Amino acid sequence: MKKMKVRQIENGTVIDHIAAGKALYIAQLLHLVESSLFVIGSNLQSSKFGKKDIIKIENYNLSDAEKHSIALISPTASFIQIQDFEVVSKERAHIPDVIEYLIVCPNHKCITNIEVMSSRFVINKNNMSVRCAYCEKKYTVDEVKFKRLI
């Protein structure tokens, strides 16, 4: 018999298969702590991944920008839309080839940190690194800071 450790939601979004330990960071990125009713399950058993995190958010739909940021943080994530306690859609995280506006370049001398302009990073999906299109510096995903999403 399957036991449910995290309660169901009536309407909203479930972010499942988050890499263990990453859910709190994602919740902060999405401003969930300040504005939404949400539940986090951390270090839950997963037959696919060993351990995983999960976030359930009441009455909230993720934007494409939010999904792209989450995909870089946890490529194994999946996004599930719930309506009237039923799954209406489910999609795996998709890592884009290029991501704009969402990452702050760690290079303080980068033009994106000096001028008022948007950042642009090229994603290397093989080793999960990013390269700034302006200063050409390369970073691992863990080395960059994501802009807080609204």
Comparing CA positions, the residue from 23, 26, 71, 25 lying closest to residue 51 is 23
Q: Which residues contact 21 (CB under 8 A, 6 or more apart)?
A: 42, 43, 53
Task: Look at the block and give the residue holding tokens 């990125």.
Answer: 29
Model-level pTM? Answer: 0.85
40: closest CA among 65, 67, 62, 21? 21
Residue-wise pLDDT tens digits, 25-76: 899 888 886 667 888 888 888 888 789 999 999 999 999 989 999 999 999 9
